[in-house]
């Protein structure tokens, strides 16, 4: 159950960032239908989305598994009850949303081309 929730939260975080990029592209090309804006983002930046889905999400799920299996499970119930780690799952769920957004943001910063692509397309239309 926890892994499904982490997957959903990471996906939402990634979706928030992708949504911001779509809104930015939509402002650059206001007369294009939204379907074309989505197509433009996918055409220019599919690699960032695919890396997020196939690398960021599994990596965070693996970190959660390792933390539970090899860290929290080694703590005695008394140690766990007396520490901040008793709230680990709740903290990790919140961080999953942030990590999905920030992971996609970092990837987009490193590999993103959609805005440049849209600006070039707009400049070509105007010329």
Return phi, psi of residue 56, to 5°.
-65, -50
The string of pLDDT tens digits covering residues 51-67 is 888 988 899 899 888 88
Which one has a higher pLDDT value, 69 or 101?
101
Query: Tokens at residue 66, please?
Result: 């390792």
The string of pLDDT tens digits covering residues 99-123 is 888 888 888 777 777 667 777 776 7
Q: What is the pLDDT of residue 27?
A: 87
Q: Are 6 and 60 in contact (CB under 8 A)?
A: yes
Burial category of 115 from C-beta neighbours within 10 Å (exposed 0-12, middle 13-18, buried 19 and up): middle
Compute the distance between CA of residue 20 and CA of residue 79 in angstroms, rounded to an integer: 42
Compute the distance between CA of residue 113 and CA of residue 127 in angstroms, rounded to an integer: 21
């Amino acid at each position: 159950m926890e892994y499904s929730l982490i997957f959903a939260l990471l996906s939402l975080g990634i979706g928030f960032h992708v949504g911001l990029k779509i809104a930015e592209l939509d402002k650059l090309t206001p007369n294009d239908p939204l379907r074309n804006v989505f197509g433009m983002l996918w055409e220019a930046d599919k690699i960032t989305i695919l890396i997020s889905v196939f690398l960021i999400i599994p990596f965070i799920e693996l970190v959660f598994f390792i933390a539970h299996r090899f860290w929290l499970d080694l703590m005695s119930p008394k140690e766990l009850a007396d520490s901040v780690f008793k709230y680990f799952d709740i903290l990790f769920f919140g961080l999953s949303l942030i990590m999905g957004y920030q992971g996609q943001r970092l990837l987009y910063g490193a590999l993103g081309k959609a805005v440049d692509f849209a600006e070039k397309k707009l400049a070509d239309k105007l010329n």
